[in-house]
Structure 1
Amino acid sequence: MLPAPSLDIRQRDSQELFLALPIHYNEPFTIWYLHSIARRPVEEKLHLAPQGALVVDATIWDMNGTGLPYGPDPGMKFELKDGKYILTNMNRVFPEVVMAIGWVAEHRLIYQGRSLPLARLAPPGTAIRLQVGRHPRWVLAYNHLRWLLLSQKPAPAQKGVE
């Protein structure tokens, strides 16, 4: 079988694969977290690009504060809607996103109405890489079942989001 695209979540150093979520190119997903300083929810909207990169399309947050975005760069669109700040047209391209699963950030992957706390994949403090992968369809079928078992539907209302 031909390999298909996935969002791979791996341990940063060992490259151990925690999850290979089958996601089509250009299909949106969200990384949700509580900001470390403001302790307010932030949503990063991303998609997989066919050239093997992750693209940040938008950021949504509900208050201004240290470390939170404060306005658009050239070409971006900024709006205030329903009490939320929305920054779109970001088009920030990354070969991978490296992050640590937060102790208080409660990082979640949200995709197709389901929410997965990343701490279900590895303990808080674990450094991970999010990157585009390609795997045989049987590997993705297995990982899709893991996704269904580990994630929640519907995506629960997140703290601080009214």
Structure 2
Amino acid sequence: MAAEKKTVKQKILWLIFCLALILFLLIAIFIPVKKALTFQDLRSREILAYLPIKEDQTFQLEYTHSIHQSTVIDTYTVLPDHQIQQTELQYEDMAIGMPSNAMFDGEIFVEKDGKYFIKNMNRVFPSINLRTSQVVISHKIKTEGSTYKMHDFIAPGSLINLEVKDLTMFQLLRGVKMNG
């Protein structure tokens, strides 16, 4: 009889341990663990790719302007509240679709080596919507000395949303990490 009680107690303890382990794993999978710049399909909100990123880290979005076919580089900084601050715009033509001067207080317009810059920008966005190039495949993300071609991770012509999010282990396992 004592052996049966011991076996029942062991089974109950084993069951409690297994349930606690399963609960712990479920919680661990769904708790945010990594801050990342996410690239989401704008319609489905599915994360197509992500790039781990830190607070105050800068990144650049480089692309070829669709009308005058010259390079444009937008520079952004990740803010503590996950918003994205545009800090600089660099371009080569003052043609249609490009500014001819700084527009807001504190911004500075600079011309240097045949390029135009708007510096000291303080434009803050919760996210950025864009359509990836379909004809001239050119969108790139640059950060910490590395460059990632968006068409390697996202289909050309996609309508996407760039947003800083804290990703869970589950999202990290499902998504495509751009930097390896």
The aligned residue for residue 127 of structure 2 is 96
Alignment of 1:5-154 (within 5 A): 5-73=35-103, 74-103=105-134, 104=136, 106-136=138-168, 146-149=177-180
With structure 1 as the length reference, what TM-score do the two structures score? 0.81
Deviation track 1:140-159 (CA, whole Å, cap 9, x = no partner) reads 6997x93234xxxxxxxxxx
SS in 2 for 1:134: strand
Give the letter aligned to residue 92 of structure 1: R
Give the letter aligned to residue 125 of structure 1: G
Deviation track 1:12-42 (CA, whole Å, cap 9, x = no partner) reads 1111112221111111100000001111000
SS in 2 for 1:147: coil
How many residues matched? 148
- After the TM superposition, which parts of structure 1 deviate over 3 Å for at least 4 consecutive aligned residues? 136-143
Structure 1 residue 88 displacement after superposition: 0.9
Q: Determine which structure has the larger helix proportion and give its number.
A: 2
Question: Contact 1:20–1:133 at 8 Å: present in 2 too?
Answer: no
Give the letter aligned to residue 21 of structure 1: L
With structure 2 as the length reference, what TM-score do the two structures score? 0.74
Give the letter aligned to residue 107 of structure 1: H
Tell me how far apart the structure 2 counterparts of residues 20 and 41 of structure 1 sit (CA, whole Å). 24
CA root-mean-square deviation: 2.2
Question: Contact 1:21–1:140 at 8 Å: present in 2 too?
Answer: no
Structure 1 residue 136 displacement after superposition: 4.2
Question: Contact 1:78–1:86 at 8 Å: present in 2 too?
Answer: yes
Q: Determine which structure has the larger strand proportion and give its number.
A: 1
SS in 2 for 1:119: helix
Larger radius of gyration: 2
Unmatched runs of 5 consecutive residues or more in structure 2: 1-27
